[in-house]
Amino acid sequence: MTDEAAGFRKIIYLSFPPETSGRPVVCNLALLFNLSFNILKADISPRHEGSLTLEISGREENYRKGLSYLKENGVRIIPASQRIFRDEDLCMHCGMCTSLCRTKALSVDLLSRKVVFDAEKCSACGMCTRVCPVRAMIVDMNDSDLN
């Protein structure tokens, strides 16, 4: 199911209306669009609105088709951009994350030699959260402001 060669990765929040609960719309992302997903957080109860935080990977084209499919099925999609944070106390400026950050949201400041984080450039791919040895990069999964 994993399409590592494609390398596209995104963290998104999904908000489900009650009428979609019980339908396998998320499973269909894998079946219909060959996307892989990890459920980072789930809050779903039968016959009520639910929410999911998903890390999706696969081909970018399939990702876009998968999102259209979700929207057609009434799922509200909220990008996780601007919801990636850095714990400044934990970061030791090792630079490991900078080589993986495709958008250059994480980069080394040549003067200070410190790693700077520009949240505006972050695409929420989540790669830094995987590689940071001290887990300084954090996905905010508080969904209180999503409804």
* 25, 56, 67, 84: residue in contact with ligand SF4 (rule CB under 6 A): 84
26 binds ligand SF4 (CB under 6 A): no
Task: State the minimum distance, in angstroms, from the CB of residue 135 to ligand SF4.
Answer: 8
Tell me the torsion sign for CA atoms 120, 133, 58, 14.
negative
* 15, 20, 62, 123: residue in contact with ligand SF4 (rule CB under 6 A): 123
- Toward ligand SF4, which CB reaches closer, 12 or 91? 91
Task: State the minimum distance, in angstroms, from the CB of residue 46 to ligand SF4.
Answer: 33
* 39, 42, 94, 116: residue in contact with ligand SF4 (rule CB under 6 A): 94
- Toward ligand SF4, which CB reaches closer, 76 or 121? 121
Residue indicated by tokens 């992302």: 29
CA distances for 119 relative to 42, 80, 86, 98, 103, angstroms: 25, 11, 9, 13, 10
Q: Residue 84: in which H helix or E strand, if any?
A: strand 84-86
Six-digit token pair at 123?
A: 């695409």
Scanning 1-147, the segments in alpha helix (DSSP H) are 27-33, 60-72, 127-131
Residues that bind ligand SF4 (CB under 6 A): 84, 86, 91-97, 100-101, 103, 105-106, 115, 122-128, 132, 134, 136-137
